[in-house]
Amino acid sequence: MSQYDQLHRQCRTLENLFESKLTSYSQLAANLSRPGQDIESSGSVERWKDLEMELDDLLSKLEEINEQLGALASNPELMSASMLRAVQRHRELYLDNARELKRTKTNVKQAFDQANLLSGVRNDIDAYKSSAADSLLAERGRIDSSHQMTDTIIEQAYETRSEFSRQRTSLAGINNRMVQVIGTMPGINNLVSMIKSRRRRDSIIMGVLIGVCCILLLTYIWR
């Protein structure tokens, strides 16, 4: 009786503890199914492994105690009907707990796989967004560089145009000063005219002389 009472109390304590741990373990699947859940930052992996190890250990102890209770129940003379029913009930609870733990393990594993898949997809999307942003920034940098180069060329064009304008103004000033100088010295025009007339007269004389020489040469040949 003393051994049965001790095993019975231990079994009840382990069953209650197992049920509490199993409830916490089951909540992992629900938490992992929430959108935007970060597995790494939430520490779900460590909790999952710790709870799973604790549940496996509790289930192993329940199995051991149920085997001891079963050994006691094999001697009906030492056990009352209520004791036998309690032993049977502990055995059924053990089997139910084993099946529930197996089912929950499957659910939690599926939730982790799905969460890891979604996390991988989110990481790929974030990487793509980051790459696209970098490409846009690089393209913007090239456009800004092109704009700066265009502005530089336009500034150079304006400066060249300004230089041409200054040179044109300077040449116009020189021309005006030359006209003014020529206007203040009328004798220069007369001198230029005389030079032109003398050159024209010399050209005529040279032409007449060359023509006479040609006529004399031809007359000599024909004789």
Span 106-119, pLDDT tens digits: 888 887 788 777 65
The CA–CA distances, whole Å, from 221 to 80, 207, 208, 210 equal 174, 21, 20, 17
Could you give the number of structural domains in the chain? 1
pLDDT band at 132 (very low <50, low <70, confident <90, very high): low
**pLDDT for 41:** 45
Query: What secondary structure does DSSP assign to the chain, as a single string?
Result: -HHHHHHHHHHHHHHHHHHHHHHHHHHHHHHHTSTT--HHHHTHHHHHHHHHHHHHHHHHHHHHHHHHHHHHHT-GGG--HHHHHHHHHHHHHHHHHHHHHHHHHHHHHHHHHHHHHHHHHHHHHHHHHHHHHHHHHHHHHHHHHHHHHHHHHHHHHHHHHHHHHHHHHHHHHHHHHHHHHHHH-HHHHHHHHHHHHHHHHHHHHHHHHHHHHHHHHHHHHH-
Domain with residue 19: its CATH number is 1.20.58.70
213: in domain:
no
Inter-residue contact 82 to 103 (CB < 8 Å): no
Mean pLDDT of 62-77: 87
26: in domain:
yes
pLDDT, tens digit (0-9, with 9 covering 90-100), for 167-217: 778 777 776 776 665 566 556 666 667 777 878 888 888 888 888 888 888
Average pLDDT, rounded, for the chain? 78
Residues of the domain holding 126: 1-138
**pLDDT for 17:** 94
203: in domain:
no
pLDDT, tens digit (0-9, with 9 covering 90-100), for 5-40: 899 899 999 999 999 999 988 887 677 666 555 555
pLDDT band at 61 (very low <50, low <70, confident <90, very high): very high
Mean pLDDT of 52-75: 91
167: in domain:
no
Highest mean pLDDT among 9-18, 43-52, 75-84, 195-204: 9-18
Lowest mean pLDDT among 50-59, 125-134, 208-217: 125-134
33: in domain:
yes
201: in domain:
no
111: in domain:
yes
164: in domain:
no
**pLDDT for 156:** 78
pLDDT band at 66 (very low <50, low <70, confident <90, very high): very high
